[in-house]
Structure 1
């Protein structure tokens, strides 16, 4: 749509006249009569609705619950598996672990198709100096396969913001791309990969 403004003689001042919605971008009007303008509040309402729609499309997965209790139906539907570091075998849906422990022998994995090749995204935990370090790791699924040059693995806050050392970039073909982070309890992250995986949708992983 358009927001129509009227400038005064001094160009650094203007008056907002109203908002004109556009439904067909192939048939844009040459002029917009003032009587066709809508209040600017209508535009704000549309933007707020779009914001709510985008927020509702972001799925949230609780990583600790999956590591302790096994894969739930939602995580399974969007492709996450719970695997064991030693055997690399996938678990059934239920896993018996102590309530307060984070089973660092287990990790989450998700298969992705990117630019015609298949890759595995892993979420792995390890303990160092009493702190839990979470690693997001991307690897080619093929034996001997590499991550091509130009791939990016990026983490964002749950609000979509960058932070320090949140991205790994392959400047040449490599075996793995990974980003390590230390998180506060309850903190959420969004992962992104470039090129964008097929059927990609944003997820918030809660830790």
Structure 2
């Protein structure tokens, strides 16, 4: 099922955003745990999508279009995560994917988490969850979270259906952030209401829910 976030920004708002070189930034707070499905939330805060807006903007995605990836990018503020290897098709919830010899192979299982076992001996790797989307009719596949995982460990990712929307100076999808803005608008599309309409307040430079 496809969800859609419609973001409307008037001409005055666009002038302000472009004058300071900022973007509309979307994050999803994915839960990531190494060796445990119930530990506290960990993982880097990543800009899933960052784009220069138009007056009318559509972000369309399928809530099951998740991919697992491996990266050697240092998980430091400001770095853009490069997905060195990824599952060739959307990952299946509950399955455990083994990463070895540079690629992923999956074994069926049950549950709602997306799981990776690091079978790459003596290799420093981080693993993460990415999601595909269409942004103003341009297809993207970008990271949402990443965690370092040692050899012989398993990481479990639990996706969030809530999307945080805010302005930032981030210029690329997959950029590691210092955190999510306290002024971010959190929206949660559902099966009952798959389309969410969002507006932009020129006075406060924040987004708000319409309807």
Calculate the TM-score normalised by the size of structure 2: 0.26
Higher alpha-carbon Rg = 1
Say which structure, 1 or 2, has more relative contact order (CA 8 Å, 6+ apart). 2
TM-score, structure 1 as length reference:
0.26
Q: More helix per residue: 1 or 2? A: 1
- Structure in which a larger fraction of residues adopt strand: 2
